[in-house]
Amino acid sequence: MASLTPISQSHSLLKNPNLTTPQSPNFCSSFIPKDLPYSKAQSFKLPGMASRNVVVSATTAEKPRKRYPGEAKGFVEEMRFVAMKLHTREQAKEGEKEVKEPEERAVGKWEPRVDGYLKFLVDSKLVYDTLEGIIDKAAFPSYAEFRNTGLERSEKLAKDLQWFKEQGYAIPEPSSPGVTYAVYLKELSEKDPQAFICHFYNIYFAHSAGGRMIGKKVAEKILNNKELEFYKWDGDLSQLLQNVRDKLNKVAESWTRDEKNHCLEETEKSFKYSGEILRLILS
């Protein structure tokens, strides 16, 4: 505990509490941390107190480090927390974003069209082709951790597009939203692994959750309840997701707090690019 009693007067004050000290026109106090030599003490004035030389001894307790939401459960939970806040309340109970675009409303309120859905599938395939190519080449060693996770979607989408073709539909070329996102992912993956991992997580995990619900609702409205391969996984999906969570947490263990925050800050861009592709369903 800090002592405001002058060292030179402490004993005499105890013996004679009425003892007064001479006034000094230039009152100052020396604050001396416990481990700082007296010669390095810095002086400062304490207004409104008796004028006398005072030596203060104090220790500064180190404040506990700020904990980030979800941090105790691993970095994936931090990413999930940030992502959920960017949903609307119609999309998720944890959502905080206001509804501004048609695709941000509850899926049950959508009015999809086959032509728009095909554009969405084609652009989605381009994004997954790009992601899987990036992981395969592994510009950073950490990317190799995510090869053959069972979450890959490119081959599944190829089968779905072939089915639509067999039904007589013309398969469109990739449109601006998909092309723009694919280019961004490729450039990002070569220079910013933390930001790229944010997109990797949000794309695959969003499709395994909200994406499945979208597929089900769209199939009910325009595909006679046909379940596309895009929404099927080989093996137990919950276990596949857990395996990837573990890998993501392991990779993030080597990151600094600043690198983790940088990854989290990329979430909004991930939602922006994915939202533009999702909007194609309603075009």
Q: Burial, 223: exposed, middle or buried (Cβ in 10 Å; 0-12, 13-18, 19+)?
A: middle
- Answer whether residue 192 is part of any domain: yes
Query: In this predicted model, what pLDDT tens digit does every residue of 68-106 receive, in sequence order?
Result: 888 889 999 999 999 999 988 877 777 778 888 878 787
HEC secondary structure over the chain: CCCCCCHHHHHHHHHCCCCCCCCCCCCCEEEEECCCCHHHCEEECCCCCCCCCEEEEECCCCCCCCCCCCHHHCHHHHHHHHHHHCCECCCCCCCCECCCCHHHCCHHHCCCCHHHHHHHHHHHHHHHHHHHHHHHHCCCHHHHHHCCCCCCCHHHHHHHHHHHHHCCCCCCCCCHHHHHHHHHHHHHHHHCHHHHHHHHHHHHHHHHHHHHHHHHHHHHHHCCCCCCHHHCCCCCHHHHHHHHHHHHHHHHCCCCHHHHHHHHHCHHHHHHHHHHHHHHHHC
Percent of the chain with pLDDT over 90: 66
Please give the model's pTM, rounded to 2 decimal places.
0.76
Task: Give the pLDDT confidence score for residue 6 in this predicted structure.
Answer: 41
CB contact set of 238 (below 8 Å; sequence gap of 6+): none
Higher-confidence residue of 156 and 9: namely 156
Indicate which CATH number applies to the domain containing 275. Answer: 1.20.910.10
- The total number of structural domains in the chain stands at 1
CB contact set of 107 (below 8 Å; sequence gap of 6+): 213, 214, 217, 218
Q: Which domain holds residue 227?
A: 75-281
- Phi and psi for 210 in degrees, rounded to 5? -60, -30
Query: In this predicted model, what pLDDT tens digit does every residue of 3-37 receive, in sequence order?
Result: 444 434 444 433 444 444 444 444 344 433 444 44
Q: How far apart are CA 282 and CA 214, in angstroms?
A: 12
Token pair of 167, please? 């039904």
- Answer whether residue 20 is part of any domain: no
- Answer whether residue 42 is part of any domain: no
- Answer whether residue 24 is part of any domain: no
- Answer whether residue 63 is part of any domain: no
Axis crossing angle, helix 257-265 with helix 267-278, rounded to the nearest 10: 20
Q: How far apart are CA 271 and CA 83, in angstroms?
A: 8
Q: How far apart are CA 222 and CA 227, in angstroms?
A: 11
Task: Give the pLDDT confidence score for residue 62 in this predicted structure.
Answer: 58
- Answer whether residue 263 is part of any domain: yes
Task: Give the pLDDT confidence score for residue 92 in this predicted structure.
Answer: 77
- Answer whether residue 6 is part of any domain: no
Mean pLDDT confidence for 140-149: 98
- Answer whether residue 5 is part of any domain: no
Strand partners, 134: none
Task: Give the pLDDT confidence score for residue 64 in this predicted structure.
Answer: 66
pLDDT band at 223 (very low <50, low <70, confident <90, very high): very high
Query: In this predicted model, what pLDDT tens digit does every residue of 108-118 receive, in sequence order?
Result: 888 999 999 99
Q: How far apart are CA 157 and CA 51, in angstroms?
A: 82
